[in-house]
Amino acid sequence: GAMRNLPYFCRGEVVKGFGRGSKQLGIPTANFSEQVVESFPSDIPTGIYYGWACVGNGDVHKMVLSIGWNPFYKNIKKSVETHIIHTFKEDFYGEILSIVITGYIRPEKNFDSVDALILAIQEDIEEAKRQLDLPEHLKLKEDNFFHLPEGKIVNNH
Ligand code: ADP
Ligand code: MG
């Protein structure tokens, strides 16, 4: 199932997304490039995940992540978007985002309204926060992966 590939380590540049207005909803999502997404296991299920994230050499924060279908490629390619549970002073397009995906929350869903979508994401964030405080997930926050030289691409180390 979804857990087979986890924990999954990934590093890559933050690129412009689809301008779907995530930031306007208060939940900006840092998008990985197509190349980084292509490096993911092809059988990793779409849905909502949680884990740890760090921008450049910055602090490691909790995150929720969506693996979904990429509208730019008629939904035949995946997209990977990370919402870091932290308030940043500035955008960080072009910076290196390092993540470790540690757990799975739920499959993708369609929502009847923007309010229902926001509510679901807020619940995902609360679930992620709770799960990440458990020892088996918390230990990955301290992983050496987050202390390697910037720019080095390492998957599934
Ligand atoms: P895009 O469609 O370009 O991905 P978004 O509305 O999803 O636009 O905003 C994503 C951008 O917001 C990220 O690339 C990053 O530079 C910035 N950002 C600021 N705070 C956060 C955060 N907490 N989590 C993720 N991205 C953030
Ligand atoms: Mg985005």
Q: Which residue range(s) make up the domain with 134? A: 8-142
Judged by its nearest atom, the ligand closest to the C-alpha of residue 66 is: 2
| Residues 122-141, mean pLDDT to the nearest whole number | 97
Dihedral sign, Cα of residue 31, residue 34, residue 38, residue 44: positive
Contacts of 50 (CB under 8 A, 6+ apart): 62, 63, 64, 65, 101, 102, 103, 105, 124, 127, 128, 131, 132, 137
Tokens of 29: 């999502």
* Ligand 2 mean position, distance from CA 95 (Å): 14
Let me know if residue 120 belongs to a domain.
yes
Q: Between 69 and 50, name the one with better pLDDT.
A: 50
Query: Is 142 marked active-site?
Result: no
| Residues 120-145, mean pLDDT to the nearest whole number | 97
Let me know if residue 31 belongs to a domain.
yes
pLDDT score recorded for residue 155:
55
Contacts of 7 (CB under 8 A, 6+ apart): 51, 100, 101, 102, 140
Let me know if residue 1 belongs to a domain.
no
User: pTM (2 decimals)?
Assistant: 0.92
Report the run of H or E that residue 105 belongs to, with start and end. Answer: strand 96-106
Let me know if residue 73 belongs to a domain.
yes
CATH assignment of the domain containing 52: 2.40.30.30
pLDDT at 103 over 60: yes
Let me know if residue 148 belongs to a domain.
no
Domain total in the chain: 1
Report the chain's mean pLDDT, rounded to a whole number.
91
Q: Which residues lie with the beta carbon below 6 Å from any ligand 1 atom?
A: 14, 16-20, 22-23, 28-31, 82-84, 86, 88, 91-93
Let me know if residue 129 belongs to a domain.
yes
